[in-house]
């Protein structure tokens, strides 16, 4: 990641500063593209349902973790309808405060609200059937992403899955100075996943997003 990672402190602090100025709304979470939320959730639901269920090799529906959860958009519309308990982790306290009201009655099934950057977050060993990581890996340096994925693997229940859903660049690493993040190409993401000791069990491109935004790919890992 070159020059960006050289000053990790500002890489993270600049991102925190950016998100502190973002309104705690669905549109804010999606950078002005609130209109794509339903397409996104429906694609994620179809992807996830391939794995969930009872029986040999199926992923359980006891507990999920929403990483970079923001106000809980994904928790509300994807994870709480499918899992008995959901935990949220986000670096921005204001977003998690908003999540408590945004989630409504179903918020009673939230287990924990963790206010923490993913580079420092240690999920509980053996707690989660699914760890959902969407539109947030670009806020981690390569080393921190690999280390976080290793910690996530230890946090999985039997047959559990880590799901990464994120923008992918066409080639190389593209920095975004506005929100202090990077967008990696698919080969780099796959390489970092491998370095973490994980294998990709399924991969899809999210369809029907606006042409002007990056391609979005979903990877199931274990």
Q: How confident is the model at residue 8 (pLDDT cuts 50, 70, 90)?
A: confident
Tens of pLDDT, residues 46-73: 999 999 998 899 999 999 999 999 999 9
Q: What does pTM read for this prediction?
A: 0.96
Q: Comparing C-alpha atoms, which of 51, 122, 111, 37 is closest to residue 80?
A: 111
Strand, helix or coil for residue 192: helix
Burial level of 111, CB count in 10 A (0-12/13-18/19+)?
Answer: middle
* Distance, CA of 43 to CA of 73 (rounded, Å): 14
Asked if 127 and 63 touch (Cβ cutoff 8 Å), the reply is yes
Tens of pLDDT, residues 119-136: 999 999 999 999 999 999
* Distance, CA of 208 to CA of 128 (rounded, Å): 30
Asked if 86 and 109 touch (Cβ cutoff 8 Å), the reply is yes
């Amino acid at each position: 990641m070159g020059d960006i990672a050289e000053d990790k402190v500002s890489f993270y602090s600049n991102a925190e500063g950016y998100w502190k100025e973002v309104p705690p709304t669905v549109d804010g979470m999606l950078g002005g593209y609130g209109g794509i939320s339903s397409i996104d959730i429906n694609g994620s639901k179809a992807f996830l349902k391939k794995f969930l269920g009872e029986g040999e090799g199926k992923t359980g529906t006891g507990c999920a973790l929403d990483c970079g959860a923001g106000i809980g958009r994904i928790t509300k519309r994807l994870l709480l309808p499918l899992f008995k308990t959901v935990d949220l982790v986000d670096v921005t306290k204001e977003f998690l405060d908003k999540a408590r009201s945004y989630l409504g009655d179903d918020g009673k099934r939230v287990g924990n609200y963790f206010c923490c950057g993913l580079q420092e977050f240690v999920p509980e060993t053996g707690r989660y059937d699914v760890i959902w990581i969407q539109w947030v890996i670009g806020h981690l340096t390569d080393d921190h992403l690999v280390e976080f994925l290793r910690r996530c693997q230890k946090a999985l229940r039997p047959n559990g899955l880590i799901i990464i859903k994120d923008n992918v660049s066409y080639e190389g690493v593209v920095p975004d100075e506005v929100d202090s993040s990077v967008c990696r190409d698919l080969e780099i993401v796959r390489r970092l996943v491998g370095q973490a000791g994980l294998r990709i069990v399924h991969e899809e491109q999210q369809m029907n997003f606006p042409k002007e935004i990056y391609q979005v790919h979903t990877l199931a890992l274990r």
